[in-house]
Chain A
Amino acid sequence: MIRVEGVTKTFDSNTVLEDISTTINQGEVVAVIGPSGSGKSTFLRCLNLLEKPSSGSIWLNNSEITNLTNKLEVREQVGMVFQHFHLFPHKTVLDNVSYAPQKVKKLKTNEAEETATQLINKVGLGDKLDAYPNRLSGGQKQRVAIARALAMEPAVMLFDEPTSALDPEMVKEVLDVMKDLAQTGMTMVVVTHEMNFAREVADRVLFLDEGKLMEEGPPTTFFNSPTTDRAKGFLDKIL
């Protein structure tokens, strides 16, 4: 589904990603973990071209997207959820979710709102349709953000530390929505610090450190018997 070949990203003289290669298969849930500043978010942002790789190539469904001038086509197929939600503050929950399908997929207002309402119900916020984001808790905002990304019917969902900005008691409600989503067979790439989530839900774990892909494998193997010293050190610190 997504193939990453030798992707390197530098900002000026600073190398953030170094020669990353991996493949994300259809229906797979991949957790990307690693210390802060290891390039996890940059890696994720390369997958929907919010960052352009300095070298290497990215393939989506067997076509190369790295140098596309029309990035919008890629982004239609790749949904993204941000750490800080980035809901549109001047739009209601319903408008937040139904906006992009109307503007991008050219759906009629009532069709878009119908789908949006279903999605909002699915993330458990059916009673908040007409509320503005400022009235919602962090967990609720993030669930709306997930619904907003899903409304575009993406083939892949990217999550950039979706629970890192949340109060502890709200983490679960967001993770539950993500678990449900994983069970529907959605392809997901999740940058996260939630090791339990990675262990329970992910099919594969990528461990990044200092811009390099140090280790990858199924969560049981990674968490129980990491092979690199870096990964061991990292797991020792957080578990």
Chain B
Amino acid sequence: MNLDFSQIVPYIPFILEGIWVTLKFVSMSIIVGFILGILLALCKITKVPFLKKFADVYTSIFRGTPLILQLMIIYFAVPQLTGYDIPEFLTAVLAFGLNSAAYVSEIIRAGIMAVDKGQTEAAEALGVPYKPMMLNIILPQAIKNILPALMNEFITLTKESAIVSTIGYLDLMRRAQIVGADIYRNFEPLLLAGFIYWVMVYLMTQIGKVVERKLRYSD
């Protein structure tokens, strides 16, 4: 078997730096996607037809086209349209954040609808306004129920983040490819990158479990 890890040793710091790069834009994307997802979910359950329509169309577009295409459009088409030379980091956060929001909004909408209608009525009967009712009563219960589905979405996002390598962003994946090209050996750097992705996802899974346990305090 033709395996030789000694050759990538000098490149290890370069690859490891990719962890930070990946984590940086993935965590930003998760935050953007989560907040936007909540807002979209709220639009979907309102009685205001315009907002509902907007959220539905949004979801349809971002779920109905390939993520890599969205990434390319933001990276290549935005400069053509506006003249603004959009940086890779911003491109990645926008593409992944906007895309993830579409999926998260569906998860959260399902979670909100699964909360007993009596909870809304109880809050309304006490005179609690919409915003605190959502923030303090409905969403905490919804999020507890949908945590596994949300975690799944975040894990998918973390792994799919590798496609930013296509716009030349120096993330973990791109770095592995560069090292492969440099030493004419692809298997070792790709294997290392794969291992690192797996560790990241494993850690996320563990964090998810801890959070899930914490949220079950009231059971």
Q: Measuring CB to CB, which residues of chain A are less than 8 angstroms from any residue of chain B?
A: 48, 50, 71-73, 75-76, 78-80, 82, 84, 86-91, 99-100, 103-104, 132-134, 148-149, 152
Q: What 5 pairs across the A-B complex have the smallest Cβ distances?
A: A86-B122, A86-B118, A100-B126, A76-B127, A80-B125
* A103-B132 CB under 8 A given contacts A73-B127, A152-B126: yes
B141 contacts A90, C-beta separation under 8 Å: yes
Q: Which among B125, B129, B217 is the interface contact of A79 at CB below 8 angstroms?
A: B125
B residues contacting A by CB (< 8 A) are: 116, 118-119, 121-129, 132, 136-137, 140-141, 144, 217-219
Contact B125 A48 (CB under 8 A): yes
Instruction: Please report the C-alpha to C-alpha distance between residue A73 and residue B128 in the assembled complex, in whole angstroms.
Output: 10
CB distance from A77 to the nearest CB of B (A): 8
* B137 near A88: Cβ-Cβ < 8 Å: yes
Distance between Cα atoms of A71 and B130 in the complex (Å): 12
Query: Are B144 and A104 touching (Cβ within 8 A)?
Result: no
Is chain B's binding surface mostly helix, strand, loop or mixed?
helix
Q: CA of A49 to CA of B217 in the docked complex: distance in angstroms?
A: 34
Residues of B within 8 A of A99 (CB): 126, 128, 136
Chain A residues near B129 (CB-CB < 8 A): 72, 103-104
Whether A104 contacts B127 by the Cβ 8 Å rule is yes
Taking a contact as CB atoms closer than 8 A, the residue among A73, A75, A133 that contacts B126 in the complex is: A75
Query: Given the complex of chains A and B, what is the CA–CA distance between A132 and B140 in angstroms?
Result: 15
B121 touching A86 by the CB < 8 A rule?
A: yes
Residues of A near B140 (CB, < 8 A) are: 90
Q: Which residues of A contact B136 (CB under 8 A)?
A: 99, 103
Q: Interface centre among A82, A100, A132, by most B CB within 10 Å?
A: A100
Which residue, of B121, B129, B218, has the highest number of chain A Cβ atoms within 10 A? B218
Q: How long is the Cα–Cα vector from A180 to B129 in the complex, in angstroms? A: 30
Which chain A residues border B125 with CB–CB below 8 Å? 48, 50, 75, 78-80, 82, 149
A-B contact pairs, 24 of them (CB 8 A): A50-B121, A50-B124, A71-B124, A72-B127, A72-B128, A72-B129, A75-B125, A82-B121, A82-B122, A84-B118, A86-B121, A86-B122, A88-B122, A88-B137, A99-B126, A99-B128, A100-B123, A104-B126, A104-B127, A104-B129, A134-B218, A148-B126, A149-B125, A152-B126
A84: B residues at CB distance < 8 A: 118
* Alpha-carbon separation in the docked complex, A85 to B141 (Å): 16
> How far is B121's CA from A80's CA once the two chains are assembled, in angstroms?
10
B124 touches A75 (CB 8 A): yes
Question: Which residues of the partner chain A approach B126 to less than 8 Å between Cβ atoms?
Answer: 75, 79, 99-100, 104, 148-149, 152
Bound CA span A159–B128, Å: 19
